[in-house]
Structure 1
């Protein structure tokens, strides 16, 4: 009998000490006009697609200019603004912070210009002329909005905001925060190429790799990976002008609009990739750096301790690249 009891105890101890296997779990879907992908490593499936979709739908109901019922559209159509929910407050606060830091290079009040150039909710048959741009510019400038006790106030009724340049980064952060509340410590969250990562991949127990695309040489070529980077924790986002554009004769006009001139950006930069602690910051800064041009963007990144990677046209119109010193430590190819 004693021998039998000892056998049971030994088996129980062996079972207790046996490590549960970590598995790879993946959720994919479509949201915010693009695809999303979540990969995490855990002993069990802890998150469902419906939970993810609920989070993204809640954000869209607040921030999407493509949803007629959204809070942002309600405020855009108002005379003086209105009550802001937690999503809008968070995004506007960050936007105003980056607007001030970048001297207006990042500006969410650019929506009337974005719409005039055909990049908003409707396409246009005629591109705006100088007079049209001049008439719109008084409606642009984040100094014309502010938050006051939970309300977003517009000082001019024609001011309308578009947070597409920061909302995907914010959405990535919200999904990452949700995973962490579920005690998931190894994950990669991606929406439309905007990424936040933490931990490692299993069973390899290796850092997760992130590819940075190079622009295709022609419209028929596939995108290729320019660089592969690895980070243990943080966010990686990219802003570029080679995917979304309108054609004016033989010229491609970028969807990124200069809020100061009212015209599409036209400098040597093709794309900017930023590494930051969170995706909302990286997403805002990559757009701002695109608007500065290479020399100014490199200096800004250095002054603000940002790690950034730039693809650009050199003086011979050849595509080349460069990066901040710290960024090179993340490159693995």
Structure 2
């Protein structure tokens, strides 16, 4: 599965970094195990503490492969591609697809339509889809594609997914990677592992505390500015349990002359968002929820985004943005302030 690029993999990007402290020598019952690999067009890293190794890399790879078979636009045989190719109703028996679809409808409703998984034609039109493009679209092209966009054009009745218009196509890249993290976390917990960090493409889910009693510490990295060559970590959050994801426009974009085109597309206008937000880091209980809402936050004006997060139960946000003078600043929801480590 290929998902949107995450800006924190680069030293000069917005980033989330996580590190673990060494186990105390007085606690030999728990050992630290690590798994690393490549999946869904990115890397993954799993660290967990247990008295024996009970999760294998082969199992993790298999889990992610199954999810790819459900929601990857880069796998011709995937369920989502099957749905995109057909005009007929499709019965959704795949539990992964069904769970993500249900949550997508919920976030779509709560966000006033800013989160929309029918944006696939727009994503492709602007050059961020599976196929390469040789020029950016004009307004006429955008308007023609908009006729195929909108979650009101696809209905879920029981387990049957019905397109009201044949041209409707789905893209779950804005939420499926977070869901993958949740599935991996659930796999660990099913094997009795209650102290772990799961990271996939920069999306994180943790459960602790660590065997030495400390919480997981996660640094929020800022982009390099003119007076410094490398990014720096100014803020650190400490959490015992939950998920943190980030959406950003710092690395994935297209350059059209002096114009920078973001990969975050407004499903209502068909054009990329231009609101000054560089990145939105979201905390929630589940990575799927955080992943869905980080896209919503990227779509809002800064003040509106913070107010929106303050109204949501169980969702907190940290935003890095440029003000009208081009100065990089940050702001956050009330609950996120409580996560900042002293």
Q: Same fold (TM over 0.5)?
A: yes
With over 3 angstroms needed to count, the CA separation of the structure-2 counterparts of 1:301 and 1:79, relative to structure 1, is same
Aligned with residue 137 of structure 1, among 120, 138, 146 = 146
Confirm whether residue 276 of structure 1 aligns to residue 289 of structure 2. no
Residues 140-182 of structure 1: CA deviation (Å, up to 9, x unaligned): 0011112223222111110001000000110000000000000
Structure 2 residue aligned with 1:49: 57
Determine if contact 1:59/1:87 at 8 Å carries over to the other structure. yes
The alpha-carbon deviation at position 73 of structure 1 amounts to 0.3
- Give matches, 1:317-332, under 5 Å: 317-332=326-341
- Once the 2 structures are TM-superposed, how far is the Cα of residue 20 of structure 1 from its aligned partner? 5.2
The equivalent residue for 1:36 is 44
SS of the counterpart of 2:299? helix
Q: Report if the CA contact (8 A) 1:80-1:155 is conserved.
A: no
What is the TM-score of this pair, normalised by structure 1? 0.91
Distance between the aligned counterparts of 2:77 and 2:286, measured in 1?
29
Q: Which residue does the alignment assign to 1:307?
A: 316
- Contact 1:313/1:319 (CA < 8 Å) preserved in 2? yes
The answer to whether residue 235 in structure 2 is matched with residue 235 in structure 1 is no
Q: Are residue 255 (structure 1) and residue 255 (structure 2) matched?
A: no
Matched, 1:114 2:123: yes
| Counterpart position of 1:193 | 202
Deviation for aligned residue 1:223: 4.2
Secondary structure of 2:131's aligned partner: coil
- Distance across 2 between alignment mates of 1:94 and 1:110: 16
The structure having more radius of gyration, on CA atoms, is 1
Task: Extract unaligned runs of 5+ from structure 1.
Answer: 1-17
Give 1:230 shift.
1.1
What's the TM-score, normalizing by structure 2? 0.88
Greater share of helix: 1
1:124-163 equivalent positions in 2, closer than 5 A: 124-163=133-172
* CA apart distance, 1:224: 3.5
How far does residue 123 in structure 1 lie from its aligned partner after superposition? Answer: 1.6
Aligned to 2:218: 210
Q: Deviations over 1:111-154 (max 9, x none)?
A: 10000011010221111111000000010001111222322211
Q: Structure 2 CA distance, aligned partners of 1:236 and 1:37?
A: 15
The Cα offsets for residues 277-318 of structure 1, whole Å up to 9 and x where unpaired, read as 101100001101110121211111111132110101112210
Query: Which stretch of structure 1 is more off in the superposition, 314-323 or 132-141?
Result: 314-323
Matched positions, count: 314
